[in-house]
């Protein structure tokens, strides 16, 4: 059983307090990434490695539920996990210091160039049906805890993509309200970076998955102690491609039962590397670098997640 977590992260979408009292199994896998860093992709890869088939009997987010998510009743989510007989792989967007720790559990974190995360988050918010989100949340846990926030109404959304980018980059991380920002992304990664040498902590990088999907899948299988027959690899790798996941978005995108997306396929958006280069000029890149420096993040982590020094 995991030890009690020390930090509670809560916002309109998630509450890490839902981990309290959760009972781990010795071979559980927790996939904990900052938003828009390849969470669903990693869930799909784990599903393919565990089941060793390209078709599943349930949607991906049922096989791999998000414990922290406030659009589903916690007791129901936990009961579904307790009923699973396969090796469990559980989604989270909670930093490492907010998840119960168990040395028999494997924790996977995924990093991605935050400049691309910002653009992916922009698409994420544009594609979200906020009425559906609030309806699902109300049905699951109620809205009393965010009544003040709802009374204020949604913050104005800047018309310019560049303005929205800077809003994400310069947003202030507050532990009780953060959803996604540069500071929150780097904070999340930092909590795992400090434990990266632990045998049960696995770091993946979005760009590496793009560059060598099969190699990264084989490496992850090794870290998870999973043996895959050679004849299965081509089909499993093909099923994990961005294009294949997007084409099956109704069962691979998260929260489709709650109809949170205006378009399930649009949830996957572009899935490319270096999207930010078309948006930022040299002055913008320098400004971004100064913001990263102001956060005081470990220089090695900054270089790793950006694919080199800024």
* Sign (positive or negative) of CA dihedral 173, 178, 180, 184: positive
pLDDT number for residue 263 = 79
pLDDT number for residue 172 = 74
In contact, 232 and 52? CB cutoff 8 Å: yes
Higher pLDDT, 228 or 264: 228
**Sorting pLDDT into bands at 50, 70 and 90, what band is 159?**
confident
pLDDT exceeds 50 at position 310:
yes
Query: Mean pLDDT over all residues of the chain?
Result: 91
Taking the domain 16-306, which CATH number applies?
Answer: 3.40.50.300
Encode pLDDT of 91-141 as tens digits. Answer: 999 999 999 999 999 999 999 999 999 999 999 888 888 889 899 999 999
Strand 106-111, strand 201-205: pairing: parallel
**Sorting pLDDT into bands at 50, 70 and 90, what band is 4?**
low
- The first and second tokens of residue 77, run together, are 């989510």
Encode pLDDT of 251-291 as tens digits. Answer: 888 887 888 788 777 787 777 899 999 999 999 999 999 99
Encode pLDDT of 61-94 as tens digits. Answer: 999 999 999 999 999 999 999 999 999 999 999 9
pLDDT number for residue 155 = 67
Give the E-state strand segments of 83-170 in sequence order: 89-92, 106-111
* Sign (positive or negative) of CA dihedral 268, 54, 255, 263: positive
Across the strands, what pairs with 204?
Answer: 110
pLDDT exceeds 60 at position 1:
no
Encode pLDDT of 180-204 as tens digits. Answer: 999 999 999 999 999 999 999 999 9
CA distance 47 to 53: 8
In contact, 60 and 42? CB cutoff 8 Å: no
Give Cβ neighbours of residue 156 (< 8 Å, ≥ 6 apart). Answer: none
Whole-prediction pTM: 0.93
State the average pLDDT over residues 5-17.
89
Residue 187 is among the residues annotated as catalytic for this protein: no
pLDDT exceeds 80 at position 149:
no
The percentage of the chain sitting over the pLDDT mark of 70, rounded to a whole number, equals 95
pLDDT exceeds 60 at position 222:
yes
Exactly one of 93, 187, 188, 269 is catalytic; name it.
Answer: 93
């Amino acid at each position: 059983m995991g030890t009690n977590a020390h930090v509670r992260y809560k916002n309109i979408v998630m509450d890490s307090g839902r981990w309290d009292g959760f009972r781990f199994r010795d071979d559980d896998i927790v996939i904990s990434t900052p938003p828009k860093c390849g969470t669903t992709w990693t869930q799909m890869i784990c599903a393919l490695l565990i089941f060793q088939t390209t078709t599943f009997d349930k949607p991906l987010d049922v096989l791999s539920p998000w414990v922290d998510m406030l659009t589903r009743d916690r007791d129901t989510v936990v009961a579904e996990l307790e009923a699973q007989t396969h090796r469990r792989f559980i989604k989270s967007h909670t930093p490492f210091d907010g998840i119960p720790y168990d040395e028999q559990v494997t924790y996977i974190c995924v990093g991605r160039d935050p400049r691309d995360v910002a653009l992916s988050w922009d698409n994420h918010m544009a594609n979200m049906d906020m009425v559906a989100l609030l309806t699902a949340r109300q049905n699951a846990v109620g809205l009393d805890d965010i009544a003040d926030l709802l009374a204020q109404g949604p913050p104005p959304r800047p018309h310019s993509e560049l303005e929205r980018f800077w809003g994400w980059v310069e947003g202030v991380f507050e532990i009780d309200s953060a959803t996604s920002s540069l500071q929150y992304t780097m904070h999340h990664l930092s909590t795992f970076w400090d434990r990266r040498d632990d045998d049960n902590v696995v770091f993946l990088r979005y760009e590496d998955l793009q560059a060598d999907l099969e190699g990264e899948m084989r490496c992850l299988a090794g870290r998870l102690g999973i043996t895959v027959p050679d004849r299965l690899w081509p089909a499993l790798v093909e099923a994990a491609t961005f294009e294949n996941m997007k084409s099956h978005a109704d069962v691979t995108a998260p929260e489709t039962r709650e109809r949170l997306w205006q378009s399930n396929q649009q949830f996957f958006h572009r899935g490319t590397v270096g999207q930010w280069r078309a948006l930022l000029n040299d002055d913008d890149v320098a400004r971004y670098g100064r913001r990263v420096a102001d956060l005081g993040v470990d220089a090695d982590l900054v270089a790793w997640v950006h694919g080199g020094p800024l």
